[in-house]
Chain A
Amino acid sequence: MDTRIWGGIGIAALAVVPLLGLGNYHLHLLITVLIWGFVYTSWSIMGRFGMVSLGHGAFLGVGAYVATMLWNTMGLTPWVSIPVAMLVSMAMALLVGYPCFRFRIVGHYFALVTLALGEVVRLTIVGLRDQTGGSLGMTVTGVPEGTSFLALQFGDRATFFYVALLVWLGGLVIWRLVDRSMLRYALEASSEDEDAAASVGVNVTRAKLMILMISAAMTTLGGALYAQYQMYINPETVSGIAISLQIVFAVIAGGLFTQLGPTVGAVFTLLLAETLRVTFGHDIHGLDGTIYGLLLVLFIIYMPKGITGSIMAGLSKRRRPNPAAAPAE
């Protein structure tokens, strides 16, 4: 079946959701899935090439804090401050990425470098207490009328739903564009064998920098969007290790190599978090982190392709009753 037709049907179905008279709670869950689905997609756009970042919280944090601070102190509209934040993140990505890629820091070592980056950003936010509110976090100054296009604030959840939907769709489009681009070839080649890639003329450093910067910019937008939606941010929820690991967990659970995998991951983590919250309440701090960690290990061992990858493998197996035996190594 043509995926475009299904895509069209899916988008149309999503677009009428707010008209169904869902309660605020359900709309809130949907918006959350869209925002995080976008953030996870942003991570997977480079993660799928073996570039595992454990520090995407850095970009998320820059998005949330730069946009909020510029708005709160100078009244700069998010329409300007978000692009500014994206540029800041891309500069950061360049600064950290260039030496990494130039000197072939890959795999675990790359993950460690990014992990440090995430912590540096979190500690910076905490350290700049007077400007950022430190670990107490900060509130986005609301416009008196509640809704303002210029301030990207919408008192009405349904409107915000459409904003989040558009951004999420944009993420899927970028995923698809990258998937069909020659950049993907360069990155698949580089992730397999940097020497062989360079020997056929692939500029490995440049290819990796490009995808890192795209991913960083998108994640930054996600962070800013999250701030605009929640109207409150703190260093723990938008930067640092916990959120960075949650991104990795969600993408691996949902499926790293498919377009909708990260979004499925967002649904999965949200359901998990809500179940934990309803079951245990707010008392048991850190429990969710522990459970995420445990599940992550289980997923990596038993379902490395994630939920979507496994479902698709299952479907294609059913379509072809006698699947050709896996080619011998």
Chain B
Amino acid sequence: MLRVENLTKRFSGFVAVNRISFALEQGEILGLIGPNGSGKSTTFNMIAGLLKPSEGSIRLEGREIGGLAPIEICHSGIGRTFQIPRPFKQLTILDNVVTAAFYGQRGSVSRAKALDQAEEALTLVGLPTDPQAEVASLGAAGLKKLELARAIATQPRLLLADESLGGLDETEMNAAADMLNHIRREKNITIIWVEHIMGVLMRVVDRAIVLDHGEKIFEGLPREVARDPRVIEIYLGSEKITFDEARS
């Protein structure tokens, strides 16, 4: 459904993403992994329209979408989360998501429908649908869930989830993996899930891509990732990788 070819981003000479190509099948979960600064968020931002690609093409179901504005990307069925949550603090939790449901879909949606869809999205990520609940009441994990709920409420066919937060413990990682699976099952959407580390999430992704210094150094099944010599090399000495979990 999504085909990325030779995607490149240069920031005044510095190449953040270098000619990466990959394709996504309908209903798939793709894990996009790589150490800090390897170009994961930059790739997302190009797909989501926040950054214009320097080169390359992005096609969604055959249609070129590279360089379109974020609104158009959103309306063509791609939802995204931000790595560092960017909630609308003046609005309640529910209204954050209602806004996304109301404005995020192609064609107009009634307010009542937007409210239904917002409640559904909040329930899916496990946040309260209480209309009074304020964003200020959320902790770091809650804010990440709100990001997800907002993206899901736009009813995307493709979800770009930039979840590389780090600092998640084992239980939280497991919960995140379960949620991911749940979302895919419930909404039948295709997902690209960004992570620093392989960890538990490798359990649920169908395929993984590893980036390093803006280049794709690996693409394959999750169980192959941890055995790849190049991947081992970039993560060598890094405690972030947990091969055991990736093997299962």
- Seen from chain A, the residues whose Cβ lies within 8 Å of a Cβ on chain B are 182, 185-186, 188-189, 191-193, 195-203, 327
| A192 pairs with B90, CB closer than 8 A | yes
CA distance A200 to B99 in the complex (A): 8
Docked-complex contact A188 and B71, CB < 8 angstroms? no
Shortest distance between the CB of A19 and any CB in chain B (Å)? 42
Known contacts A182-B102, A327-B137; decide if A202 and B90 are in contact (CB<8 Å): no
User: Can you list 29 A-B contacts with CB-CB less than 8 angstroms, sorted by A residue number?
Assistant: A182-B103, A185-B91, A185-B98, A185-B99, A185-B103, A186-B103, A188-B88, A188-B95, A189-B91, A191-B90, A193-B86, A196-B86, A197-B88, A198-B70, A198-B74, A199-B70, A199-B80, A199-B82, A200-B74, A200-B99, A200-B100, A200-B103, A200-B104, A200-B150, A200-B151, A200-B153, A201-B74, A201-B100, A201-B103
Chain A residues with CB under 8 A of B91: 185, 188-189
Distance of A256 from chain B, by nearest CB (Å): 13
Q: Is B48 close to A, CB under 8 A?
A: yes
Of A189, A192, A197, A200, most buried by chain B (CB within 10 Å of CB) is: A200
B111 within 8 A of A: yes
Task: Determine the distance from Cα of A200 to Cα of B103 in the docked complex, in whole angstroms.
Answer: 7
Can you name the residue of chain B whose Cβ is closest to the Cβ of A193? B86
Whether the pair A201, B105 counts as a contact (CB closer than 8 A) is: yes
Known interface pairs A198-B74, A199-B82; 13 further A-B residue pairs with C-beta atoms within 8 A, sorted by A's residue number? A182-B103, A185-B95, A186-B103, A192-B87, A192-B88, A197-B88, A198-B70, A200-B99, A200-B100, A200-B151, A201-B105, A202-B103, A327-B136
Name the CB-closest residue of A to B74.
A201
Q: Does B203 contact A (CB under 8 A)?
A: no
A196/B90 in contact, CB under 8 A = no
Contact of B89 among A185, A192, A198 (CB under 8 A): A192
Q: A191 contacts which chain B residues (CB < 8 A)? A: 90
With A193-B88, A200-B154 already in contact, the answer to whether A182 and B111 are too (CB < 8 A) is: yes
Where the two chains meet, the residues of B that have a C-beta atom closer than 8 Å to any C-beta of A are: 48, 50, 69-71, 74-75, 80, 82, 86-91, 95-96, 98-100, 102-105, 111, 134, 136-137, 150-151, 153-154
A202 to B114, CA, bound (A): 14
Partner pick for B71 among A182, A185, A192, A201, CB 8 A cutoff? A201
Contacting residue for A186 out of B82, B99, B151, CB 8 A: B99
| Given A189-B91, A195-B50, also A202-B99 (CB < 8 A) | yes
B105's nearest neighbour on chain A, judged by CB, is: A201
Closest chain-B Cβ to A245's Cβ sits at a distance in Å of 26
Give the complex CA separation of A185 and B105 in angstroms: 15
- Select from chain A the residue with minimum beta-carbon distance to B101: A200
- In the complex the two chains form, is B86's CB within 8 Å of A195's CB? yes
Q: Which of A189, A195, A203 is the most central at the interface, judged by chain B CB atoms within 10 Å of its CB?
A: A189
Min CB distance, A104 to chain B, in Å?
13
- B90-A198 in contact (CB<8A): no
Quote the shortest CB–CB distance from B214 to chain A (angstroms): 22
Q: Which residue of B lies closest to A207 (CB)?
A: B103
Contact check, B136 vs A198: say whether CB atoms are below 8 A apart. Answer: no
Question: Which residue on A lies nearest to B97, using beta carbons?
Answer: A200
Given known A-B contacts A185-B99, A186-B103, A193-B88, A199 and B74 have beta carbons under 8 A apart = yes
Residues of A within 8 A of B89 (CB): 192
Question: Are B70 and A195 in touch, CB under 8 angstroms?
Answer: yes
From the candidates A188, A201, A327, name the one contacting B104 in the complex (CB within 8 A).
A201
Query: Hey, which chain B residues are within 8 Å of A199, CB to CB?
Result: 48, 50, 70, 74, 80, 82
Give the docked Cα–Cα distance between A104 and B85 (Å): 21
Residues of B within 8 A of A198 (CB): 69-71, 74
Contacts of B82 in A (CB 8 A): 196, 199
- Write the nearest CB–CB distance from A78 to chain B, whole angstroms: 37
Q: How far is the CA of A327 from the CA of B96 in the complex (A)?
A: 19
- Residues from chain B with Cβ under 8 Å of A182 in the complex: 99, 102-103, 111
A199 to B96, CA, bound (A): 12
Please determine whether B88 and A201 come into contact, CB atoms closer than 8 angstroms: no
Q: How far in angstroms is the closest Cβ of chain B from A202?
A: 5
- Most chain A Cβ neighbours within 10 Å, of B74, B91, B103: B103
The residues of A that contact B136 with a CB separation of less than 8 Å are 327
Expressed in whole angstroms, the Cα–Cα distance for A99 and B101 within the complex equals 28
Chain A min CB distance to B125 (Å): 15
Q: Which residues of B contact A203 (CB under 8 A)?
A: 71, 103
Least CB distance, B87 to chain A, in whole angstroms: 8
CA distance A191 to B89 in the complex (A): 10
Q: CA–CA, A182 to B100, complex, Å?
A: 11
Point out the residues of chain A lying under 8 angstroms from B87, CB to CB. 192, 196
Assembled-state Cα–Cα distance A273/B139 (Å): 48
Q: Which residue of A lies closest to B102 (CB)?
A: A182
Min CB distance A201 to B, Å, is 4
